[in-house]
Amino acid sequence: MSTIYFAKEPPEPVTMSTFLVVASIDFGTTYSGWAYSFRHEFEENPAKVNAKTWHGGNFVSLKGPTCVLIKPDGKTIEAFGYDAETQYADLAAENKHKEWYYFRRFKMKLFDKETLTMSLEIEDEDGKRLKASTVFSLSIRYLKDDLMKTSSDKLSGDITHKDIHWVITVPAIWSEPAKKFMREAAREAGIPFGQLSICLEPEAASIYCRHLLMEKSSDTSVSTFKPGTKYLVLDAGGGTVDITVHEITQEGKLKELLQASGGAWGGTKVDDAFLELFNKIAGVNIIERLKSENMEDYLELIRNFEVKKRDIIDKPGITVIRIPISLMELAEEMTGKSLKQLLQNSPYKESIRQDKDKLKFDTSVLVSIFNTTIENIVGHVGTLFQKTATGCQTVLMVGGFSDSKLLQDKVKVAFNKKTLIVPPDAGLAVLKGAVVFGHNRREIVSRIARYSYGLSACVKFEPKSHPEEKLIIVEGKPKCKGCFSTLVRKYETVDMETACKQKGFSPLRPFSYFDANLYCSSKEYPQYVDEEGCHHIGRFKVNCRDKFGNIGSANLSLLFGGTEVEARAVLQSTLEEATATFDLPD
């Protein structure tokens, strides 16, 4: 439970961070990482951000795999990233892994969750269940502690935990409950409420590119865009693809012109299609056997493909990928035929050839496994350009999947009249941009509401318009319960620092507080909080007892322009601030 304090007057505009250090955690579906910068570094060059380089055997990457190994007690983390992969593979090789918990790419468990509670459980790679909040909070704690440990030389001396402001990134298309879930998981990981911000991934990337001089990949730089310039942000990650449109304001800030949209079209879909190739060739689920019996080889196969994946292009040629010996042995055990024989009997006999422990793919085969994912992305972007993103002449590609040359080429061909910008190390744009956001949250001035937001309210019962089953009697008067009292309407532009219109609430006797139940709806004009498309986000519990001990009414207003819903409350009797707590639904 997080305590939120509300002021009599609107707070001062968010200015530069007063913290000495801002650190970000980019919790990705496939890869995760951390970064930070000192306040003086930000003032000299906002794009100067320190990030960890991850090592796993022969692999070196800018972020580490989103994998966590948890001890059999279900409460203690053993390893994260490459270390988690390796240690779990070692346990599996000795058949000692059954009691351990190993979670991989688990961020997608929160995707498309309009209703979400802290009691949600998720399954690990072996089907064992743990509370999602435990898995997420242990992972966040590891990344937080790893930053402090790895950067101890730079952060030593007078720097303490209280001097660091943390920023955690989330997809823009996530629901409000999912964002609140991440905040609670971060709190459980030891990040205080007042030292944490949630940042939307495409916004973080856009902010970073506003400060980055693009000398390598393009003569065009987002940092040189003039006021009034509009550009589409295509954030292609491992799990999700977030797409929105930003405009440069007269003050050089960013405002959102198009509500974020997208889907589960990230790079992991291509990984899944690659692995499914082997099942098609063998005619049995050989990958599941490899995964359960030879985890180390399974991980090696995925890593080998990951190295090749980024450089695949739609041109004639051969791509060689090393495969584990155990995969060939399983093929013969499960089918009675060698892998070479299976290939000869498959639709791929002319396009995939085996040479000892290598498979030589006609590049066209590997291009084909990208098709569905890329078609979804290009099709959605095309629809936006036709219907809502008119006047936008630039596409900014960020996120790890945007490093794929094939995806870049397909976007370039599909929108050949648009300017395409891909920053160097596109996969780090979100991670580093979140640090910039943490230093100055006024970079974004307004957003487009993805939902209608409102409070559950009782209003005067109107027999001609209200259903009979919603009639209740309150203090002798007929009321209609569960009405959607709209605060912000879907598609409405909401300012970062302006609260919506105040609503007055009174506690029901004999209580000294009222529960303001907050809902979101996919409809533009919702009527009731229990209708289809309406979801309970949580509740604000507002204390209505003033300093003299009297119980009265309070005015409640909410801010929807930030990355999370915030609130302000003022007691009508004394105009003093009220205190409240926000809880996710049970």
Decide which of 502 and 439 is more confident. Answer: 439
Decide which of 454 and 213 is more confident. Answer: 454
Decide which of 197 and 516 is more confident. Answer: 197
Contact 263, 415 (CB under 8 A): no
Contact 111, 239 (CB under 8 A): yes
Q: Determine the pLDDT at residue 12.
A: 33
Q: Determine the pLDDT at residue 13.
A: 36
Compute the distance between CA of residue 487 and CA of residue 485 in angstroms, rounded to an integer. Answer: 7
Q: Which of 1, 71, 32 is nearest to 400 (CA)?
A: 32
The mean of the pLDDT values for the chain is 86
Compute the distance between CA of residue 432 and CA of residue 435 in angstroms, rounded to an integer. Answer: 5
Q: Determine the pLDDT at residue 132.
A: 94
| pLDDT tens string 169-190 | 999 888 877 888 898 899 999 9
Contact 310, 405 (CB under 8 A): yes
- What is the sign of the dihedral through the CA atoms of 244, 247, 252 and 253? negative
- Say yes or no to pLDDT of 269 above 90: yes
What percentage of the chain has pLDDT greater than the value 70? 90
| pLDDT tens string 284-298 | 999 999 988 888 899
How many Cβ atoms sit within 10 Å of the Cβ of residue 578? 24
Q: What is the pTM of this model?
A: 0.83
Compute the distance between CA of residue 57 and CA of residue 92 in angstroms, rounded to an integer. Answer: 18
Least confident of 128-137, 336-345, 454-463, 537-546: 537-546
Kindly state the helix (H) or strand (E) to which residue 344 belongs, with its residue range: helix 339-344
Q: Determine the pLDDT at residue 17.
A: 61
| pLDDT tens string 533-576 | 898 877 777 888 888 888 888 887 777 656 666 777 788 888 88
| pLDDT tens string 91-127 | 988 888 889 999 999 998 888 766 677 888 999 988 8
Decide which of 248 and 218 is more confident. Answer: 248
- Say yes or no to pLDDT of 3 above 50: no
Confidence of residue 15 (pLDDT cuts 50, 70, 90): very low
Q: Determine the pLDDT at residue 11.
A: 32
The domains located in the chain, with CATH, are 17-212+432-439 (3.30.420.40), 268-368 (no CATH), 448-583 (no CATH)
Q: Determine the pLDDT at residue 512.
A: 80
DSSP 439-478: HBGGGEEEEE-SSEEEEEEEEE--TTTS-GGGEEEETTEE
| pLDDT tens string 37-55 | 999 999 999 989 999 999 8
